[in-house]
Amino acid sequence: MTIRDHLALNGHSAKFSEELITEGKVKPAPNPIHDETIHATVAGLILVLCQLRGTQTEVDRILSDFDLARKAIVVVGETTWNYLMQSVSRFQWENFRGAILKLPDYQFDNSHICSKLDELVENLQFTEYIDRLKSKLSV
C-alpha cells in the first residue's frame, strides 16, 4: 500500500504538490517555491519524505514558517539525517517546529512509514483543534 492510499483510507485527501499545479484552472506561479508555499498554506497536513536535495529545499524555504511547519511531518532516514546535520541548515533542522519522524534506513519504506504516521497525524489534529479553541476563547 502506498502512503497516499493509506492516508486516503483514513479519510484524508492526500495529493502530491506536483499534482496540485495542474489541478486548478489558475496558471501556477512563475516561481515553484511560491506555488509550493500556497499549497502548504491551504493544506491541513504536510507530509515530506525527505530523501533528496529538493525536499531539503522545501523544508528549508517553505517550512521555515512556523504556521506551516507546525502542521508538517517530515519523514527522514538516518543516513539523510546525518547528512543534514553536516549541512549549513543544521540549526534549522534541529529547531524545526513540526514533527520529524527519523527512521533507520532499513525502515524507510511505505509499510513502516504508514504504521508510524497514524499516531503523529492524530497528535497534529488534536494540536490544531486545541489551537482553534484557544483562538476562539481569546476573542
On whether the CB atoms of residues 85 and 93 are closer than 8 A, the answer is yes
pLDDT for residue 75: 93
Name, in order, each residue with C-beta under 8 angstroms of 95's C-beta and a sequence gap of 6 or more.
Answer: none
Q: Provide the CATH topology of domain 3-137.
A: Rossmann fold (3.40.50)
Q: Is the pLDDT of residue 30 over 70?
A: yes
Query: Where are the domains positioned within the chain?
Result: 3-137
List the one residue out of 25, 63, 21 whose CA is nearest residue 46. 63
What's the whole-number mean pLDDT along residues 23-51?
79
Q: What is the pTM of this model?
A: 0.80
- Model confidence band, residue 50 (pLDDT cutoffs 50, 70, 90): confident
In the structure grid, which three cell numbers stand for residue 24, read together?
A: 486548478
Q: What stretches of the chain show up as alpha helix (H) in DSSP?
A: 3-9, 17-23, 32-42, 53-57, 66-69, 78-84, 90-94, 110-137
